[in-house]
């Protein structure tokens, strides 16, 4: 078992019943499985966000104005 997930479950406190109901509604066998998938999704979203930021930086750099002469 992953300690990050267990710590996250322990820190839910009052929201634990809400998360358990949500996990059951979505078809997960346990709260642990639901939190595992939720954590994987958050990590995937974070990686995707970093990639889009890097792509934007590359696009900005490539849009530098090209000058027609060498004097300016």
Give CA 56 to chain center in angstroms. 18
Report the predicted TM-score, pTM, of the whole model to 2 decimal places.
0.68
* Higher pLDDT among residues 58 and 46, named by residue: 46
Residue where the block lists tokens 């634990």: 16
Confidence of residue 58 (pLDDT cuts 50, 70, 90): confident
Residue pLDDT, tens place only, 28-38: 999 999 999 99
């Amino acid at each position: 078992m992953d300690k990050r997930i267990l710590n996250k479950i322990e820190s839910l406190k009052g929201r634990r019943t809400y998360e358990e109901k949500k996990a059951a509604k979505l078809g997960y066998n346990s709260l642990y499985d639901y939190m595992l998938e939720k954590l994987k999704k958050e990590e995937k979203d974070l990686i995707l966000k970093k990639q889009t930021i890097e792509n934007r930086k590359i696009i900005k750099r490539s849009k530098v104005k090209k000058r027609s002469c060498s004097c300016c």
